[in-house]
Amino acid sequence: MEIGVGWLKDLVPGLEGTPRELADRLSLRAIPVDRVVPVGEGLGGILVARVLEAGPHPDADRLTLCRVDAGGAEPVDVVCGAPNVETRAFYPYIPPGATLPGGMRIESRRIRGRMSHGMLCSEKELGLGRDAAGILRLDGEFRPGEPFAARLGLPDARLELDLTPNRIDLACHVGVAREFVRDGSGALSLPTFEAEVPAPRWAEDRRSAGGDGLTISIDDPERCSRYLGALIRGVRVGPSPAWLQARLRSVGARPINNVVDATNYVLLELNQPLHAFDLAKIGGGSVRVRAARDGEVLRTLDGVERRLGPQATVIADADSPIALAGVMGGEESEVGAETTDVLLECAAFDPRHTRHTARGTGLATDASYRFERGIDERGLEVALDRCIRLIVATAGGESDPTRIRVGRPAPRRRVVGVRPGRVRQVLGLRLSADQVTSLLAPLGFEPAPREAGDAEGGEASRPLPLLVPGWRGDVSTEADLLEEIARTYGYEAFPDESRRFRPGTVPTSRDAGRAARTRTMLAALGLFEARSVAFASEERTGPGRVALLRPLSAAEGFLRTDLVPGLLDRLAHNWSRGRRDVRLFEIGTVFGRRAEGASDGEPPVAEERRIAFLLTGAARPAHWSGPVPDVDLWDCRGVAEEICERLLDGAVLRPAEEEPTPRESDDALSFGTASWLSAAAFRLEAAGSNGDSGALIGVAGLVRADALDIPPWAGPVFAGELRLAAVAARRPAAPFRPLPQFPPVTRDLAVVVSAEVPSDGVRAAIRDAAPGELRSLSLFDVFEGESLAEGTRSLAWRLEFRAPDRTLTDDEVDAGVERIVRRLKEEFDARIRAS
């Protein structure tokens, strides 16, 4: 919404301050001001000139040769590039030696053989509008040579308000002016228009009323509560006077003609949309507010033919629609140069129906914007009268004393109460009823008579009833009045005091704790946290995918079912920048549709928080001391092991060979969609009972080469994904183990077994057979070939034995090792290599 500062100052005589200062005051008291835009700055050198003669340039088709009176002793010659120069008309003129707002200095110069002393200017050249096609004709009486800017109230400025949906009353100049009156800056005063307008006689009824050959009816009171019509006969449609054009231009509106400009002026002044119809184009002497009929067609003012449906509300004459109610007029009944008699409409259209009419046609206009948010139904009569006066003043004509009014009477002002005790409870201010009244009075709130029943209770709990002005449709509750009191008091004027408080009792969410632990650990492992959006294409998602009803694009048409495909996209981005070493993790949500019928009161879309990671490129930063290998499956498994041990509290990793794409059929969110996973993969399983495998909580491994477009210079890619819910929300508090008091005894054992035997099996057998004194067991070498028999391999283990209460003897340890060896021989037909 744009508010002209000059216009505002006319409405509030005595209002002081630069546009910037006014903007700040408004921001702190009522509504944000996005920008302050200067209008008509740097026009000091521009004069008003009258064209005395205009004729074609003898040597150029498109140029006009003018003699203009610019107030000097002699007329001057000006060559003009515009086609629309009229003799006797006034135009802005820049004399030689002066500069345009853009900084261009104008000099006398020869154009196609003729001297041009200065130039006649267009809107655009003066920075007043976008129109560069023609020079700016000034309507009204001027004295040649008088300064242009002062006459048009320039320089001016406009404030661009960022209107909130509740404060539609600030979409007009009077509304904004009230906020300054409230600020103690004088009183509101509306300019008067010189016009002979007879006192109105109202022809009125609830559904239909008329007079003098015109009947207005409301078919559906839900769509329109009040409709006022007035006739003006014998208008001369033409350009508006300069002051009116300047007013409209100062807020970026385009002057059209005196009748239309008058309706726009009243709209911008009082917030009431009005529409002028050419009376001659209204068929059958009838105007109806009704639902559009299915398939009805209306060509609107913008020249677009619109096919309507019953959700739209129209104004119709006896035959067909002539306007979209509260949105836009029809082209057919538009006021134009030949119009003489005008029907002026001033109505209250229903917000919801206006919204449907506007949505249905894809239109959003100044009028629909206001009707959708609610106009002041009590203000219709004033707005209509003001518009009639302005039209008669600028376009002549006679106002028909009979005015038509259909619909319900103007609503009474709403009464809303506010308790001083509530002011104190919510705002912390001790204000008396009188203080509240005087804070709100300048905004139009008046004390209402107290009703008898209100007398009970103390002063603080007794509501102070206030009459809400008609333009404040947003104020309907005590809380609304508290806001009015707070902002009128001034947010900055509240005292700085500290209050005692009780800490909240809502426990911190477990997911928040899990995510924090996970992030810290993965960052410490050298991974960067990525955040990607939750959308994915159909190909990047799995079977339970959820579609967006109106996606931004096909590539973002679905909710992701896995995190890793998103990380692979992030990897592709890095590769496109030539980055080879990429280590990322992400914590995010995946989504899946629950099976039909499976949702017992649950929402049909399930969501789950996941952790994903991705590794590719060198295992360490390059170093001069030697080559650095690329990450391999064991780096990937290492990350997975760290996660299992440090975050998952006992989860285990199993090779995924048997089930290359693990799947849980009964769950909307499975890892069954892990189409990126190759056969070289691991399953992360919760610690099961009795050695059974537990629930699947994640997968990790080599990414299939066909899941992404790998550049030839890139290394293999590894990734993993698991459920955040599997992470312990805090580190489990296992009791402290005393530090050893006695030295350990170490034995190395190289076990040759069939290459088919998994190392995990050997490890389990050693642990099982070993005495309790075995404190640590690590695999330090894996070897096959050369001296070993075909199909066998050597697994070398380091065993550390220690007792808490004594130094172990070699004999004790040897006996233990002996038991282990026996077991390995029995179970795996193992051979022990001499070490």
CB closer to other proteins out of 120 and 486: 486
CB closer to other proteins out of 520 and 689: 520
| Cβ–Cβ under 8 Å, residues 607 and 594 | no
Task: Name 629's Cβ contacts closer than 8 Å, sequence gap at least 6.
Answer: 618, 619
Helix H or strand E segment including 685: strand 677-685
Least spacing, CB of residue 554 vs other proteins, in Å: 14
CB closer to other proteins out of 589 and 776: 589
CB closer to other proteins out of 195 and 525: 525
Phi first, then psi, for residue 384 (nearest 5°) are: -65, -45
| Cβ–Cβ under 8 Å, residues 38 and 23 | no
Least spacing, CB of residue 349 vs other proteins, in Å: 15
Least spacing, CB of residue 598 vs other proteins, in Å: 15
CB closer to other proteins out of 142 and 575: 575
Least spacing, CB of residue 186 vs other proteins, in Å: 22
CB closer to other proteins out of 718 and 828: 718
Spatial distance between the Cα atoms of 361 and 304, rounded to a whole number of angstroms: 10
CB closer to other proteins out of 604 and 761: 604
Least spacing, CB of residue 530 vs other proteins, in Å: 4
Distances (CA, A) of 183 to 29, 187, 480, 486: 9, 10, 19, 14
Least spacing, CB of residue 435 vs other proteins, in Å: 16
Task: Name 517's Cβ contacts closer than 8 Å, sequence gap at least 6.
Answer: 647, 727, 728, 729, 730, 731
Least spacing, CB of residue 638 vs other proteins, in Å: 13
Find out whether the peptide bond into 155 is cis, omega within 30 degrees of 0: yes
Least spacing, CB of residue 633 vs other proteins, in Å: 18
What b/e string do you get for 162-198 counting C-beta neighbours within 10 Å, with b at 16 or more?
ebeebbbbbbbbbbbbbbbbbbebbeeeeeebeeebe
Least spacing, CB of residue 532 vs other proteins, in Å: 6
Q: Is 147 exposed, middle or buried (0-12, 13-18, 19+ CB in 10 A)?
A: middle
Task: Name 97's Cβ contacts closer than 8 Å, sequence gap at least 6.
Answer: 45, 105, 106, 107
Q: Is 599 exposed, middle or buried (0-12, 13-18, 19+ CB in 10 A)?
A: middle
Q: What is the DSSP string of 697-734?
A: EEEEEEEPGGGS---TT---EEEEEEEGGGS-SS---P
CB closer to other proteins out of 301 and 516: 516
Least spacing, CB of residue 143 vs other proteins, in Å: 39
CB closer to other proteins out of 330 and 720: 720
Helix H or strand E segment including 404: strand 402-407
For residue 128 the two structure tokens come to 């007043």
Phi first, then psi, for residue 830 (nearest 5°) are: -80, 150
CB closer to other proteins out of 627 and 772: 627
CB closer to other proteins out of 77 and 478: 478
CB closer to other proteins out of 366 and 556: 556
- Rounded to a whole number of angstroms, the CA Rg of the chain reads 42
For residue 365 the two structure tokens come to 């206009």
The label of the residue with tokens 């239909």 reads 208
User: Which residue, 115, 116, 119, is CA-closest to 91?
Assistant: 119
3-state secondary structure 406-437: EECCCCCCCEEEECHHHHHHHHCCCCCHHHHH
Least spacing, CB of residue 328 vs other proteins, in Å: 18
Least spacing, CB of residue 635 vs other proteins, in Å: 11
Least spacing, CB of residue 680 vs other proteins, in Å: 22
Helix H or strand E segment including 593: strand 582-593
CB closer to other proteins out of 567 and 722: 567
CB closer to other proteins out of 504 and 712: 504
Is 775 strand, coil or helix? strand
Least spacing, CB of residue 519 vs other proteins, in Å: 6
Spatial distance between the Cα atoms of 681 and 696, rounded to a whole number of angstroms: 13
DSSP E strands: which ranges in 242-312? 274-278, 286-291, 297-299, 305-307
